[in-house]
């Protein structure tokens, strides 16, 4: 246990991927952590209803479910399958009683070089999914991913683009994710955070705030290059202050994909994350 | 030899790094290529004056010299050394009779998380270097690098940021580099190219235009991940049309750092680059 104020702290499941879902729940209890962000695959593996009961009975709040999205397919069959899968993700989020489904938009289809067209297909898909999500008490949260993922993972690369998409919909239906790892380099991020916050109370369009640090060299494939808080170049506290100033008072979720962390004892990693959170973000 | 219009084509030396400078000059002659972009290290190794004579006598035009920059140090000694090195780079550019010295700004000093401060130090350095360059007939060309290089290589990540810096100086002193690899993901790039072009005749602030394609997965360290033209996600022709529409009528330089290309025969690579250039950029 720590003396740090963990009232907004949430640990994303992927940060301690070495833990099974029951281990995560038990580990959070021991560490005094009351909020978790979950991922679909481990939840499905454990059973959605069973997972929902496990976290509920442990008194844990699920701050977000990662992730829906991958909505850029142009081929009709692939597109219909993606929409079906996203409706399932919305159902899972509702079952877990989390208000937030994180969406990673998807990259360019093979051979396609039209980023703008792909972004428009994301908008079209949001129009189909947003009412379904709203009926189930779930808000879609568009996560801009770092531009290095633009071709293969997410054609939405900046908070500005995410807001351009989100603002086509009511604020209670579609928000954005502010993840320091993805936006730290962007000199327009501060203004975009303010713009997101101006959309309403409680942070407006800011549906989730996630922390990870930027460290180099990047590993091959770059996906698992996220750094432990404090190890890198991101002024984490400044971003926490920016979302706070925008009116956001929701969870601060730590999401780090890092093979070095996964190779260690889960409880040790969680304790270190808590300590770093207090030192660098509070 | 090819039928393609190579009147604007320039091969950046680093694309055929397996070639020595004399091999490059000879290979360009055989391929009907009249323009080259050079790098400081191989030029220095060969001897600056000797290199200048070699390319001049072969009738080659040097479209740019890569690179100066790395101007973000805050420690006074390191800062003075960087300025000295950039004055040397300007002298070398002048000796090679190229009008364009490409500047890569530099990353964050160790332990520093203040991107804005680092960008301001770049501006301060430009103010010291621009008059020196102008006296020697060289324009400083700020190259925004992809945001994945923001911490360790270049704190200037977008054309917008590069223009914000350049516009503090006369258009004939400081311009920007448009490199498709670095800016392709940015939905504001088209507007920025137009803004650069509006600064004057001949493309205004556009001091150089470089082509490389974006391919994944990125290799470890990501520096050598640039793709052969046509192999990736970038709509190269659209960018060529954008710079043209902005009034730019200068060289189109192909700059690809790729170990796969370096492992092959230089003449074969140059022929392939020319063919891809004609197919994807003309």
Q: What pLDDT, in 10s, does the model give residues B191-230? A: 999 999 999 999 999 999 999 999 999 999 999 999 999 9
Helix axes B189-197, B159-166, angle to 10 degrees: 30
Q: What is the architecture, at CATH level 2, of domain A9-280?
A: Alpha-Beta Barrel (3.20)
The answer, yes or no, to whether residue B167 has pLDDT greater than 80, is yes
Q: Are B231 and B13 in contact (CB under 8 A)?
A: no
Nearest residue of chain B to residue A154 (CA atoms): B185
Residues of A whose CB is below 8 A from B216: 151-152
| Burial class of A136 by CB neighbour count within 10 A (0 to 12, 13 to 18, 19+) | middle
Mean pLDDT calculated for residue range A230-254: 98
- Judged by CB atoms closer than 8 Å, whether chains meet at A187 and B115 is answered as yes
Residues of A whose CB is below 8 A from B217: 152, 220-222
Query: What is the average pLDDT score of chain B?
Result: 97
Torsion of CA A38, A42, A48, A51, to 10 degrees: -70
Instruction: Kindly state whether B83 is in contact with chain A, defined as any CB-CB distance less than 8 angstroms.
Output: no
Q: Are A269 and A226 in contact (CB under 8 A)?
A: no
Q: Is the peptide bond before B67 cis (omega within 30 degrees of 0)?
A: yes
Q: What pLDDT, in 10s, does the model give residues B222-256? A: 999 999 999 999 999 999 999 999 999 999 999 99
For chain A, the straight-line distance linking the first and the last C-alpha, in angstroms and rounded, comes to: 17
- Judged by CB atoms closer than 8 Å, whether chains meet at A151 and B216 is answered as yes
Structure tokens at A88: 């399932």
Instruction: Kindly state whether B32 is in contact with chain A, defined as any CB-CB distance less than 8 angstroms.
Output: no
Which residue from A150, A188, A220 is facing B219, i.e. has the nearest CB? A220
Domain ranges of chain A: 9-280
d(CA A148, CA B182): 10
The answer, yes or no, to whether residue B2 has pLDDT greater than 80, is no
- Judged by CB atoms closer than 8 Å, whether chains meet at B216 and A161 is answered as no
Beta strands in B61-120 (DSSP E): 61-69, 100-104
Nearest residue of chain B to residue A119 (CA atoms): B187
d(CA A33, CA A53): 18
Sign of CA dihedral A206, A207, A212, A218: negative
Structure tokens at A131: 């009412």
Structure tokens at A20: 């099974």
At residue A73, the pLDDT reads 97
At residue B1, the pLDDT reads 57
Instruction: Kindly state whether B157 is in contact with chain A, defined as any CB-CB distance less than 8 angstroms.
Output: yes
ipTM of the complex: 0.96
The answer, yes or no, to whether residue A1 has pLDDT greater than 70, is no
The pLDDT confidence band at residue B3, using thresholds 50, 70 and 90, is confident
């Amino acid at each position: 246990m720590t003396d740090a104020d963990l009232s907004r702290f949430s640990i994303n499941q992927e940060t301690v991927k070495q833990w099974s879902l029951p281990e995560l729940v038990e580990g959070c209890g021991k560490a005094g952590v009351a909020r978790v962000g979950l991922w679909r695959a481990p939840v499905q593996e454990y059973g959605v209803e069973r997972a929902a009961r496990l976290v509920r009975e442990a008194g844990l709040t699920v701050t977000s479910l990662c992730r829906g999205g991958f909505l850029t397919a142009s081929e009709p069959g692939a597109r219909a399958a993606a929409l079906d899968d996203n409706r399932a993700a919305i159902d899972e989020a509702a079952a877990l009683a989390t208000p937030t489904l994180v969406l990673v938009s998807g990259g360019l289809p093979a051979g396609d070089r039209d980023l703008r067209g792909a972004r428009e297909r994301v908008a079209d898909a949001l129009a189909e999914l947003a009412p379904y999500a709203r009926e189930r008490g779930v808000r879609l949260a568009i996560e801009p991913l770092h531009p290095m993922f633009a071709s293969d993972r997410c054609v939405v690369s900046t908070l500005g683009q995410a807001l351009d998409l989100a603002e086509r919909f009511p604020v209670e239906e579609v928000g954005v994710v502010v993840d320091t790892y993805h936006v730290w380099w962007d000199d327009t991020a501060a203004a975009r955070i303010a713009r997101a916050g101006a959309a309403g109370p409680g942070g407006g369009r800011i549906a989730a705030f996630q922390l990870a640090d930027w460290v180099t060299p990047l590993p091959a494939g770059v996906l698992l290059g996220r750094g432990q808080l404090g190890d890198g170049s991101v002024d984490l506290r400044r971003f926490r202050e920016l979302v706070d100033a925008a009116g956001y008072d929701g969870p601060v979720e730590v999401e780090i994909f890092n093979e070095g962390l996964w190779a260690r004892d889960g409880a040790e990693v969680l304790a270190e994350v808590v300590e770093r959170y207090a030192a660098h973000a509070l």
